[in-house]
Amino acid sequence: MAGDLAPADVVSQSEQTQEPFVEEKDLPPARYIIKGSTAGCGVVESFLPFASIPVIDLSLIALSSSSKEEEDELEKLKLALTTWGCFQVVGHGIPTPLLDKMREITEQFFDLPEADKQIYSRAMNDIEGYGTDPVLSDKQVLDWSERLFLKLLPQSSRNLNLWPETPNEFRGSLNEYSEKVKSIIDIVLGAMSRVLNLEEHYFLTKHGNQALMNARFNHYPTCTRPDLVLGAKAHTDGSGISVLLQDKEVEGLQISNNSDWFRVPIIPHALLINIGDQMQIMSNGMCKSPMHRVTANARRKRTSLVIFYLPDPEIEIEPARELVNGEKPRLYRKLKNYAAINFECFQNGKVALETVRL
């Protein structure tokens, strides 16, 4: 990836950035550099404050029961949904050794020689497989990362030829992990329905029984100039919800709240649940799909694993009728296949959520 690019890129970039203090040999290739102000990029030792993202004990949110402890967790959940648009979950039932195994196989895969990873390469116009972010224009600034994107659900969508055979525990571990994450998603969507005073299965049903689940393994290599690039540019997730397993030691994820950026703290055995655009739509804006980004790091590489859960693209989604009233008019139109809308907007430099707003 990045490191393999021709030195010619580096030279041309030094002309574009006009940063006399930068030594050419240290510059990342041109197409990775965020143009203009470097204020948007940070480093891990950043001065930014930590986000006070709620930590929710999922074991206390048992479906259809009620206790004081559960009420407290649901209260925290409501706050999380309407403020940060994300929360960390503990008590989620995934054993720590499996979380560590997922981190291990992620690292092992990205540590393979490039040729071995290329076996799983993403085809030109496809999202699935190994590669960098899809390059849609010459002007696009690339993320300082490499990824492996795999379809998990429905089962029939799995392309096993793209599932790495090395390390040899990869396939089995991913299968086991995805089943456990699906159970967490079921509980979280049930709890989200309840805190918004909707019928318990509301959001789950709205995703449909052919809902999509995808995995994205991210690797952010070290970068000599982390102040000039981003591991992942600022974005919101186009999913319904996303479940993120962060690197256990290396920080990098930042989240925006009221136009300020905050660092997301690492809790090694927790998962970060992120609300995606489609849940913002279905909740009529009650749940926030937060803008987030990933910084690069000069000293340490970072990995993460995100599971995206999305409504069946054939199903129409729209704001829940119960959440539309005189005080909260309907914010979004009815639509289906938001992923396609999102992709088209990405190609045209538009913000998908804005284009579906009424």
Interaction site with ligand AKG (CB under 6 A): 216, 218, 232, 237, 244, 246, 253, 292, 294, 304, 306
How many whole angstroms separate alpha carbon 83 and alpha carbon 260? 13
**Phi and psi angles of residue 217, each rounded to the nearest 5 degrees, phi first:** -90, 125
Q: Taking CB positions, which residue lies at the least distance from ligand AKG?
A: 304
Q: How many CB atoms lie within 10 A of CB 338?
A: 22
How many whole angstroms separate alpha carbon 299 and alpha carbon 55? 29
Task: Considering the complex, state which of residue 292 and residue 301 has its C-beta at the smaller distance from ligand AKG.
Answer: 292
Q: Name residues whose C-beta falls within 8 Å of residue 327's C-beta, 6 or more positions apart in sequence.
A: none
Task: Considering the complex, state which of residue 14 and residue 221 has its C-beta at the smaller distance from ligand AKG.
Answer: 221
Task: Considering the complex, state which of residue 22 and residue 55 has its C-beta at the smaller distance from ligand AKG.
Answer: 55
Part of the chain binding Fe ion (CB under 5 A), chosen from 63-71, 171-179, 237-245, 346-354: 237-245
To ligand AKG, the closest distance from the beta carbon of 288 in angstroms equals: 15
Task: Considering the complex, state which of residue 195 and residue 244 has its C-beta at the smaller distance from ligand AKG.
Answer: 244
Residue 294 binding target from Fe ion, ligand AKG, none, CB below 5 to 8 Å by type: ligand AKG
How many whole angstroms separate alpha carbon 198 and alpha carbon 267? 31
To ligand AKG, the closest distance from the beta carbon of 310 in angstroms equals: 13
C-beta separation of 28 from 223 below 8 A: yes
Task: Considering the complex, state which of residue 58 and residue 294 has its C-beta at the smaller distance from ligand AKG.
Answer: 294
How many whole angstroms separate alpha carbon 355 and alpha carbon 335? 11
Residue 246 binding target from Fe ion, ligand AKG, none, CB below 5 to 8 Å by type: ligand AKG
Q: What is the DSSP letter of 314?
A: T
The sign one gets for the Cα dihedral 147, 168, 250, 85 is positive
To ligand AKG, the closest distance from the beta carbon of 307 in angstroms equals: 10
To ligand AKG, the closest distance from the beta carbon of 137 in angstroms equals: 20
Residue with token string 């206790």? 67
How many whole angstroms separate alpha carbon 194 and alpha carbon 63? 10
Residue 283 binding target from Fe ion, ligand AKG, none, CB below 5 to 8 Å by type: none
To Fe ion, the closest distance from the beta carbon of 307 in angstroms equals: 11
Task: Considering the complex, state which of residue 13 and residue 242 has its C-beta at the smaller distance from Fe ion.
Answer: 242
Query: Which residue of 133, 146, 237, 277 would you call a contact of Fe ion, by CB under 5 A?
Result: 237
To Fe ion, the closest distance from the beta carbon of 178 in angstroms equals: 18
Task: Considering the complex, state which of residue 105 and residue 232 has its C-beta at the smaller distance from ligand AKG.
Answer: 232
Task: Considering the complex, state which of residue 80 and residue 232 has its C-beta at the smaller distance from ligand AKG.
Answer: 232
Residue 244 binding target from ligand AKG, Fe ion, none, CB below 5 to 8 Å by type: ligand AKG
Part of the chain binding Fe ion (CB under 5 A), chosen from 11-19, 59-67, 229-237, 275-283: 229-237
Task: Considering the complex, state which of residue 231 and residue 285 has its C-beta at the smaller distance from ligand AKG.
Answer: 231
**By CB under 5 A, is residue 73 in contact with Fe ion?**
no
Q: Name residues whose C-beta falls within 8 Å of residue 221's C-beta, 6 or more positions apart in sequence.
A: 1, 2, 3, 144, 145, 146, 301
Residue with token string 């136009």? 259
Tokens coding 308:
């995206």
The runs of H, that is alpha helices, within the chain are: 7-17, 68-82, 96-111, 114-118, 170-195, 202-207, 277-282, 338-347, 352-355
Task: Please give the C-alpha separations between residue 196 and each of 205, 236, 245, 312, in angstroms, as whole numbers.
Answer: 15, 22, 26, 22
To ligand AKG, the closest distance from the beta carbon of 253 in angstroms equals: 4
To Fe ion, the closest distance from the beta carbon of 292 in angstroms equals: 6
To Fe ion, the closest distance from the beta carbon of 52 in angstroms equals: 20
Q: Residue 358: helix, strand or coil by DSSP?
A: coil
Determine the residue type at 338: Y
C-beta separation of 210 from 311 below 8 A: no
Question: Under the rule (CB under 5 A), what is the footprint of Fe ion?
Answer: 237
